[in-house]
Structure formats: C-alpha cells, structure tokens
C-alpha cells in the first residue's frame, strides 16, 4: 500500500489553536455585515428616489417604504457594530487590525451612507451645493473615529467624548424614518440640513455622552426609570415611527444638557464655610518674685 502522506509537510496545529485563529475572523464578519447593511441602504434609497418621482401614488408609497427600509438598515448596522467589539473582548481577539477595520467600516456606514440618504431623499433640491452638508457630516464622522482610536486608552470607558458615530447616524436616519415623504412638511428639508450641521459638530465636540459599557446589570435601578420607559412604550403604541426619533434626539441632546447642568451646579454651589480662625496668644512668663531667695528664683 502506497503511503500518501508527505513526510516533509509540517504537522497540523492542534484543534485549540485552529479554533483560536478562526475566532479572530468572527469580529471581522460582523464588520463586513456592517458595511453590507450600509451599502444595501444606499441601494434602497436609489430605488426609492426613482419611485418618489413617479406620478402613480402606489409607486410613491413604495418609494416611501424603501426610504424607511434604508433608514432601518442603518439602525440595524448600529446594533451589529456593537457586537463586533463585544465579541472581540469576550473572545480575547482584539487587535489593531480589527480596530482600524471597524473604523473604516464606520466611516462608510455611519458617515457616507447617512449623507447620501439625505441627499437622495431631497437635500439636493434645497441648493445645488447642498451636498457639502452631507460631505461635512462624513468628514466629522471620520474625524470623530480618528480621535477615538487615538484616545481610547486614556479616557474613561464609561463616557464617550463627543457624540458616537452610530448615534449620530441614527439621529439623521430617524428623521427620514419618521417622514420619508418629502411632501410631508416643507420645512423638513431645512430641518435635515440643519441637523447634518449640528450633529456633525456634536461628533467632534468635547461633550460627554454616557457609554453602554459603563452599564452594570447587577446594579439596582431606581423606580424613577419606570416613568421614561412607560412613556416610550406609549410612543411605540401611538406613534411607532416617532420612537427612533425621540430616542435618538434625547441621546443627542443629553451631552449638551449634562454640560449645562454641570455648569449650573458649579455656579450655584456655595463655598464651604471656613472654620473660625483660632488665635493663639503667646504665654508670657510670670514676673519674678522678690520675696524668694536667689537660689529659688
């Protein structure tokens, strides 16, 4: 019988090492899914733009659904984006390549895609140079991610410095998800243009935003949290399309509001009372007694 084994071939690594090498690919697969969702969102927006220009109301309604789908895909990409970092930390497969690869994917999905969606939705009708607002949003996204890669080892992990890019993209897409029909309100185009500018500035600002990484599920939660949760459930029931808008706007404004609250508390806080000054008088020696003999003085 002929031995088909090659004696010069190096032995295969054990199963544990092979599984560890495969584990490094798992976070990258989520990053690839992040980019695919962003790309497919642009495809849906292109189809929706064509249908919104049709005179048939049924086709216009189909275009509205496509724009809502495109905005929803960005929300799903934001959820997927949290899993690649979580899986990398759990499996111990964090690497510089994964960090840079994730940042490049975020520039596409959370920077270029929201800018393109707003331009295709109707921002191009505002002015011929309105594409600069979309480009400004993308540049702010890239700047925010570059700063995060440099400062992630020196900042408190409980807080983000500047608005996170998935939240910024969610804020812009929540407007399109709530009112994808350009004829819904004439001022929606202006609102989207201003939102691109303000949200982009918040990304590169130094306002602090609460991070999900600092949330401890074992910690007791106050009963006051039930009030906003009940309010969100009512919004979902009566206005389901406004749910993402309210949630995104609330988180976007939380950074400046926390900063204002800190300034207000810092100015309103009175100076601590100083303890009364204690003066110690020097003790003078008693006068000499002339009645005592010299050796007793």
- Is residue 69's pLDDT more than 90? yes
Residue 251 domain-assigned (yes or no): no
Instruction: Report the CATH number at residue 31.
Output: 1.20.120.1760
Residues 6+ apart with CB under 8 A from 88: 27, 94, 95, 98
d(CA 148, CA 143): 9
Structural domain span for residue 139: 22-152+165-202
Between the alpha carbon of residue 270 and those of residues 91, 144, 226, 249, 274, the distances in Å are 49, 37, 33, 33, 12
Residue 55 domain-assigned (yes or no): yes
Residue 196 domain-assigned (yes or no): yes
The pTM of the full predicted model, rounded to 2 decimals, is 0.77
CA geometry: angle 203, 205, 97, nearest 5 deg = 55
pLDDT per position as a tens digit, 24-40: 677 888 899 999 999 99
Residue 107's pLDDT is 95
Residue 292 domain-assigned (yes or no): no
Q: Sort strands 159-161 and 208-210 into parallel, antiparallel or unpaired.
A: antiparallel
d(CA 252, CA 68): 21
Total domain count, the chain: 1
Residue 3's pLDDT is 47
Residue 187 domain-assigned (yes or no): yes
Identify the DSSP state of 224: G
Residue 212 domain-assigned (yes or no): no
Residue 289's pLDDT is 56
């Amino acid at each position: 019988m002929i031995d088909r084994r090659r004696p010069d071939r190096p032995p295969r690594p054990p199963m544990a090492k092979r599984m560890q090498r495969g584990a490094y690919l798992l976070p990258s697969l989520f990053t690839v899914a992040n980019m695919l969702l962003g790309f497919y969102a642009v495809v849906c927006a292109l189809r929706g733009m064509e249908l919104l220009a049709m005179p048939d109301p049924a086709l216009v309604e189909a275009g509205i659904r496509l724009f809502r789908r495109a905005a929803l895909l960005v929300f799903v990409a934001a959820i997927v984006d949290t899993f690649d970092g979580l899986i990398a930390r759990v499996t111990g497969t964090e690497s510089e390549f994964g960090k840079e690869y994730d940042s490049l994917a975020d520039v596409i999905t959370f920077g270029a895609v929201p800018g393109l969606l707003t331009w295709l939705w109707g921002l191009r009708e505002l002015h011929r140079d309105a594409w600069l607002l979309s480009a400004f949003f993308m540049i702010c996204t890239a700047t925010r991610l570059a700063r995060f890669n440099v400062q992630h080892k020196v900042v408190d992990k409980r807080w983000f410095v500047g608005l996170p890019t998935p939240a910024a993209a969610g804020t812009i897409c929540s407007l399109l998800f709530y009112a994808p029909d350009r004829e819904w309100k004439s001022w929606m185009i202006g609102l989207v243009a201003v939102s691109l500018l303000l949200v982009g500035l918040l990304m590169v600002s130094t306002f602090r935003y609460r991070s999900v990484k600092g949330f401890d599920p074992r910690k007791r939660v106050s009963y006051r949290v039930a009030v906003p949760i009940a309010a969100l459930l009512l919004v979902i029931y009566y206005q389901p399309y406004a749910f993402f808008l309210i949630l995104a706007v609330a988180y976007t404004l939380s950074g400046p509001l926390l900063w204002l609250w800190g300034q207000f508390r810092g100015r309103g806080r009175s100076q601590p009372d100083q303890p009364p000054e204690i003066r110690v008088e020097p003790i003078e020696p008693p006068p000499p007694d002339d009645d005592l003999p010299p050796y007793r003085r």
